Structure 1
Amino acid sequence: MSKPYPLLFQPEFKERVWGGRALEQFGLNLPEGQIGEGWMIADHPNGTTTVANGELAGTGLDQIREQMGREWFGNKGFSEKNGRFPLLIKLLDCNDDLSVQVHPTDDYAGLPQGELGKTEMWYVLDAKPDAKIIYGLKEGVKREDLKTALENGSVMDSLQEVSVKAGDTFYIPAGTVHALCAGVVVAEIQQNSDTTYRIYDYNRPGLDGKPRELHVEDSLNVTAYEGSGATTMSTDQAVPGQWLQLAASPYFVVEKGIVEGEWSLGTTQDSFTILVTCEGEGTLTWEGGSQKFTSGQCFLLPANLGSYSLEGHAVVLRSYLP
């Protein structure tokens, strides 16, 4: 069995009607087209990333899961429902508004077979001065109100708009109506699911020139009208060498850290660790090796890696299973 080391993956890129070219700022080699999503760490039928560094280069995350098992992914590192890696890590470029959407919980009867619900969080990497997102329903909006608004074309009047800036973070439990809007680039940590119910899509055509499918009944069914537990925060109070918790859910914990100099850290047997470099650069060092890192790169650290350190000047997100 290979000795554990931090895994860097070749992203899977997805063209989206709302995408652009902003992910090139991270040095990523994008294919042609309107690239909205970079799946940075993925083990899903709709996209599986392969290792780009070290001894396991060319190996898919699904193969690593099958070969290395709990020793690498940790005691909590499997989805008991579908056996896949439990998280999906993305970078999103919103050159245009995304559809207004909502995600189901794990127990929703309408889920495709083998699929999970989708709780997620966003960390804003970049935002234009007037950037905003849609984040929940206005107070008092019930199912019948939302249904009527969709029928008469006034749905935007039922939604909360929130201004955003780089460094803001948004926790989005399943059931939260939401949409990223034009001019925002985010890192997304989420359950390993690709189930999205579109409520409204501005009556625009998709990449094929045809209207994109809406999922009105499913959306009305899964929306949390009394509140989903969504929370948001600015992260300006983060200080070097300390973790600031951004989101804690049954599916993941996400923290922000500022690297200034050398920071000694370590993994535990319970869970793998995912590091997302938001800005800056440095060196990731562990017993037996080192790896340069730069903004936009996402690493999967096996649970049995043990001690490691970050050295340089950078902002990173750390994610693991609770």
Structure 2
Amino acid sequence: MQKRNDQAWRGEVEEIYKNYSIYHQGNGLEQVIFQNGPGLFKNRSFQIISKLKEYGFLSNTGKLLDIGCGNGGFLKSFQELFPNWVNSGYEIDEKYKENVLSIPNVVNFYSSDLSIIKEKFDVITLIHVLEHLSDPWDYLNKVKDLLLPDGILLIEVPNFRENPFDLIIADHIVHYSLDTFNLIVNKLGGEIVYQSENIVHREITICVSFSNLLKEKSKSEKVPPEVKNLNLVITNEYIYNLEKFANTIVAESKTGVSLGIFGTSIAATWVLSVLGGESISYFVDEDINRIGRRIFDIPILSPENVSADSILVLPFKKEIASSIFHRLFLNKKINYLSPEF
């Protein structure tokens, strides 16, 4: 599923990145993800790399290139778990060059165009990159040429079928499911050797090998009608329910009850925008790097500090919202709102 790449979209994205600061809510630290059990958190990169290590996809030594490395969050976690690897980072600009090169085992920082990179790598990572690109196939075609013959391409993207709020993220132009990834990889002549929708909840993780490149490109260069139709049905259903959810939030905001939002992600800020930046008393987050900070000058509280008799907006699919509420707020006199999808 893809948004329209027109002048209006490009202008909006340009405005977003004028003052963009990575992981701003966490003071530059990568977001954490919840694991089973109270208080058990790991950052997203550490979780991904740990699973790949557990499954034996990576040897003890090698060369890695992290495309879209940002301020080096993935590279930091990777060198902790694979201290004998030689690593490099790539970004579109040099804003975080010094940060990245200060990470142990990072020997190169590349920017500008991929064509400046002359060496080849055992592993190339694209963590939350492809959803920003209007032509992912063309980009991946260039990336695969930077892999060694037995190299692995690691890709992580939001799973829009499991995370409807991905549709409202302005700078995400392509929204992925495993069906569309299989098509793209097949067209590139590669093979998905590992795939998961569970390493990080609501995200897709795949590892791609090109060691047995097909002699001819797949003839299946278009999305099959059944996949295209299913994605369209799901998208329309999500948009309808997002609009319905927005109307419910607005109605509740007029009751005078204290209203809070769980999370500080883009879904949470969307809820705030629905209310025109008003009527929200606080955000709630479990991430200790975010608790005590402010977002849009609204305080971020821990779950323990949420006052009774308030209404909490949980911008997640209903089964996830229910799980969060029962884990953290069941014994409090708190009501919550969540979408119907």
Q: Which has the higher strand share?
A: 1
More helix by share: 2
- Larger Rg, first or second structure (1 or 2): 2
Same fold (TM over 0.5): no
Q: TM-score, normalised by structure 1?
A: 0.32
